[in-house]
Amino acid sequence: MAYSQRLIDAFTYAADLHADQTRKGTGVPYITHLMAVGALVGEHGGSEDQVIAALLHDAVEDQGGKRTLDAIRTRFGEPVAEYIAACSDTDVHPKPPWRERKEAFVVRTRTACPEAKLIIAADKLHNMRSLTVIIRREGHAVWERFRGGREGTAWYHRAMLEALGTAWRHPILDELDDALAVLHRAESDAAQA
């Protein structure tokens, strides 16, 4: 399946929206995360709408809330907007407290449609892989960057894996489970260092 001009437009829109954003504490341009999530969705059989939503999955949370979601709906259609809404843990600014927001997102993820679950799973998979690399490089200092800290982040990863697996089976869940195990090993190794 070839992608259309819509995908190129979505990539450009995502790059513009997140132009000044970097990955937490790394200086790495944020668009790299969006590209990785989009690639994972595409590699796991996602439709063009799902890949577009993957490229824009953080736009509502980080770049304008409901106003941005409305712009995405107008520009890329209702299915893309619905997937992004399902992937967003908030659409308000300032964001609600971290734990409250994440608990509500875990609950909503359990009943999300399979198309949105694939995007959410790809996002969490890339986040876990990236976090593993940073832990191996920096050790426990990394936890200072995360609102949930070490314990909260560990809880959230486990809870999301469980929520995604509720009434949905997909090969990406095995990858997510493997990534969680690798992350825990890296964390354990860092603790012993």
With a cut of 80, say whether residue 32 has pLDDT above it: yes
What pLDDT is recorded for position 6?
Answer: 98
Please indicate whether residue 62 is annotated as part of the active site. yes
Which residue in 49, 58, 61, 187 is the catalytic one?
61
| Residues 124/36, Cβ–Cβ less than 8 Å | no
Q: Among residues 120, 187, 175, which one has the least CA distance to residue 149?
A: 187
Q: Which amino acid is at 11?
A: F
Q: Domain count for the chain, please give it.
A: 1
pLDDT digit string, tens, across residues 156-182: 999 999 999 999 999 999 999 999 999
What's the mean pLDDT when you consider all of the chain?
Answer: 95
Q: What angle do CA 182, 133, 105 make, to 5 degrees?
A: 70
What pLDDT is recorded for position 149?
Answer: 85
With a cut of 90, say whether residue 3 has pLDDT above it: yes
pLDDT digit string, tens, across residues 48-89: 999 999 999 999 999 999 999 999 999 999 999 999 999 999
What pLDDT is recorded for position 101?
Answer: 97
Q: Using the CB atoms, write b or e for 79-114: b if 16+ within 10 Å.
A: bbbbbbbbbbbbbeeeeeebeebbeebbebbeebee
What pLDDT is recorded for position 143?
Answer: 84
Q: Among residues 142, 178, 140, which one has the least CA distance to residue 157?
A: 178
Find the CATH number of the domain harbouring 41. 1.10.3210.10
100 token code pair: 């409250």
DSSP secondary structure letters along 87-122: H-S--SSSPPPHHHHHHHHHHHHHTS-HHHHHHHHH
Element (H, E) at 65: helix 65-76
Domain with 113, as residue range(s), is 5-192
How much is the average pLDDT of 17-35? 94
What pLDDT is recorded for position 72?
Answer: 98
| Residues 174/161, Cβ–Cβ less than 8 Å | no
Please indicate whether residue 49 is annotated as part of the active site. no
Give the separation between CA 188 and CA 90, rounded to whole angstroms: 32
Q: Which residues contact 172 (CB under 8 A, 6 or more apart)?
A: 40, 44, 118, 121, 122, 125
Q: What angle do CA 123, 176, 107 make, to 5 degrees?
A: 65
pLDDT digit string, tens, across residues 89-131: 999 999 999 999 999 999 999 999 999 999 999 999 999 999 9
| Residues 148/155, Cβ–Cβ less than 8 Å | yes
With a cut of 80, say whether residue 1 has pLDDT above it: no
Which residue in 9, 62, 115, 138 is the catalytic one?
62
Give the separation between CA 109 and CA 88, rounded to whole angstroms: 10
